[in-house]
Amino acid sequence: MSFEVRNKDLLGRIGRLRTKSGTVETPLLLPVVNPNSQTIPPQQIKDIFHFDALITNSYLIWRKHHNEPTVPKIHELLKFNGVIETDSGAYQILQYGDVEVQPSEIIKFQEKIDSDVAVILDVPTGDETTKERAKWTVEETIRRADKSLQVISRSDMLWVGPVQGGVHLDLVAYSAREMAKRNFSIYALGSPTLIMQQYRFDVLVDMIIAAKRELPPGKPLHLFGAGHPMMFAFAVALGCDIFDSASYALFARNGRYMTPQGTAKLEELEYFPCNCPACHGKSPEQVRKLLRTERDHLLASHNLHACYEELQTVKQAIIDGRLWELVESRSRNHPALQRAFQRMLSYTDFLESGTPVRKSKGPFILSEQSLNRPEVIRYQKRLIERYTPPTRVKKLLLLPEALEKPFRENQTENDLILKLEKRKDLHLCAYGLEFGIVPHELVDVYPLSQTENAITPNQATISHARKCMVNYLRKFQYSECIMFGNESWEKNTAQLLKRTFKRKMKITYVQTTNLDIKIVQQALKSAK
């Protein structure tokens, strides 16, 4: 195995990818280096900016050197002692329609120049392609994959199998299924560049999920052409492990300054919102006065620092189990990211499949959107599928969730819970906005008591709570339910439950602001 997963959260993971030139950690950004012209020398990309791997274009090298008696080794040519991935010329096919090299020829050439990771010559779909044309690119890429696997002779190199289909999700899924049958070390999703340039991140979410569902979970996924810090958290959360982009240099040449919040224009900045080595002690006005080459180098340096810093932030979020919080926070940076987050919420069941059952820190419920996070979805699913209430107990006592949190400091609340626990004829449960109904015996189970929430009653949160409560009561049919509360949403919820279960369960609502054992005992007595 060339890929080992160390930590996971959502579909994101921190992994180790072993190559013949060394082991690199994912999530990994491969800065694109033009073999003929570099804004920043390749070795500086490693020594100064801490990127242990990069990607270059083997087709451009082939055009320059393939007729020479001795072809230079890629590490010597770039003067880089890290891991090098080589693309095969597919980008030129996307830009110009074709290349003059054959798929088998570029395979042998990449082996000859001693690449660590190499890509077969696929046919990119692009984003403005008819369904018929898109289908042809998928079939042709699969055909080329089969021929390439027959030609490949070096087992010490990692080979990348591209997935095509563009915005046609059924073709993306078909392409991924077929490529998964071929034994590539890495898989890659092609044709997202224009979609990202147009900020259609919601479409990108669909494309990634369509591919990810069909690909082997034990192999890394490379998202071609992705290299902006504003979208790293999203792409990693959806299961992407490797990125590549020349945008750090291309943006610099156009006077554009990368941040996790988006792209700023140098001409419009009065202050640098960054203290990286490139920005420290400088003002935008000073940078605008630099010579063009100096300005481009400084902006490219900042852009690399910004990319590296955001990837480090994403990795720490995975370690902490807070990747959801990071994605939700980043979604507020731009309307396009908010649309992407909304689209991401439709895949919560798939996201839940990759999320650890237990984490070192409790989740934050920051908004009604947080109610779709895997921890909440998993609890609801497992409560209905796996939980069994105490046998022969048909009377349910529902208390507001505040009384059921652990580490209670209010002695009155503690005394109340302890006395109610002794009642063998009652099943004690809490209810609240984030988890619906929580049986008392589960209250200390992760993530129920470890969750911090900032949500308030509104249409979305109340609707969520009511749906959870109805599902629970429909599954576990008590003969009687006594619900305590004070807020208007709690009273209205009790009325909804009465209408829903009027012939199956007696629902009693007790409104009180100061819940104690005497009030509970009186309610139980009145219910009789």
Q: Are strands 83-87 and 53-57 parallel, antiparallel or unpaired?
A: parallel
In angstroms and rounded to an integer, the radius of gyration of the C-alpha atoms of the chain is 28
Do 247 and 370 belong to one domain?
no
Asked if residue 347 is part of any domain, the answer here is: no
Contact 305, 276 (CB under 8 A): yes
Do 165 and 25 belong to one domain?
yes
* pTM assigned to the model: 0.92
Phi, psi of 406, deg, nearest 5: -75, 175
End-of-domain residue from the set 251, 268, 294 = 251
Contact 10, 237 (CB under 8 A): yes
End-of-domain residue from the set 251, 274, 294 = 251
Phi, psi of 430, deg, nearest 5: -105, 160
- Give the whole-angstrom CA distance, residue 38 versus residue 45: 11
516 tagged catalytic: no
- Give the whole-angstrom CA distance, residue 178 versus residue 182: 7
Query: What residues in the chain have per-residue pLDDT under 70?
Result: 1, 402-415, 516, 527-528
Phi, psi of 55, deg, nearest 5: -130, 140
Contact 277, 305 (CB under 8 A): yes
- Give the whole-angstrom CA distance, residue 168 versus residue 190: 12
Phi, psi of 247, deg, nearest 5: -65, -30
Which pair of structure tokens corresponds to residue 426?
A: 């009652």
In this structure, what CATH number is given to the domain that contains residue 424? 3.40.50.10630
Asked if residue 354 is part of any domain, the answer here is: no
Residue 179: is it exposed, middle or buried by C-beta count within 10 angstroms (0-12/13-18/19+)?
buried
Do 56 and 192 belong to one domain?
yes
- 447 preceded by a cis bond (ω within 30 of 0): yes
- Give the whole-angstrom CA distance, residue 12 versus residue 453: 23
Which pair of structure tokens corresponds to residue 393?
A: 């107990």
Do 36 and 179 belong to one domain?
yes
- Give the whole-angstrom CA distance, residue 255 versus residue 385: 56
- Give the whole-angstrom CA distance, residue 384 versus residue 282: 58
In this structure, what CATH number is given to the domain that contains residue 31? 3.20.20.105
Which residue in the block uniquely carries the two structure tokens 């940076």?
Answer: 333
The per-residue pLDDT for 407 is 42
Domain that holds residue 179: 3-251
34: which DSSP letter? B
Asked if residue 310 is part of any domain, the answer here is: no
Q: What SS3 class is residue 53?
A: strand
The per-residue pLDDT for 405 is 54
Instruction: Render pLDDT for 225-270 as a digit per residue (tens, 0 to 9).
Output: 999 999 999 999 999 999 999 999 999 999 999 999 999 999 999 9
Number of domains in the chain: 2
Phi, psi of 307, deg, nearest 5: -65, -45
Q: Are strands 480-485 and 395-400 parallel, antiparallel or unpaired?
A: parallel
Asked if residue 522 is part of any domain, the answer here is: yes
Asked if residue 299 is part of any domain, the answer here is: no
Residues 6+ apart with CB under 8 A from 318: 7, 8, 9, 12, 13, 14, 236
**Per the residue annotation, which of 87, 127, 244, 296 is the catalytic one?**
87
255: which DSSP letter? T
- 27 preceded by a cis bond (ω within 30 of 0): yes
Asked if residue 317 is part of any domain, the answer here is: no
Q: What SS3 class is residue 254?
A: coil
Report in angstroms the alpha-carbon separations of 410 from 303, 406, 407, 517.
52, 11, 9, 14
End-of-domain residue from the set 201, 222, 251 = 251
Residues 6+ apart with CB under 8 A from 127: 166, 167, 191, 194, 195
Instruction: Render pLDDT for 7-26 as a digit per residue (tens, 0 to 9).
Output: 999 999 999 999 999 999 99
The per-residue pLDDT for 528 is 59
Do 241 and 383 belong to one domain?
no
Q: What SS3 class is residue 47?
A: helix
- Give the whole-angstrom CA distance, residue 376 versus residue 356: 13
Asked if residue 356 is part of any domain, the answer here is: no
**Angle CA(159)–CA(165)–CA(168) in degrees, nearest 5?**
155
72: which DSSP letter? P
Q: What number of other Cβ atoms are within 10 A of residue 204's Cβ?
A: 26
Asked if residue 416 is part of any domain, the answer here is: yes
Q: What SS3 class is residue 208?
A: helix
Which pair of structure tokens corresponds to residue 420?
A: 């109610």
Helix (H) or strand (E) segment spanning residue 5: strand 3-9
Q: How many CA atoms lie within 13 A of 111 on its CB side?
A: 16
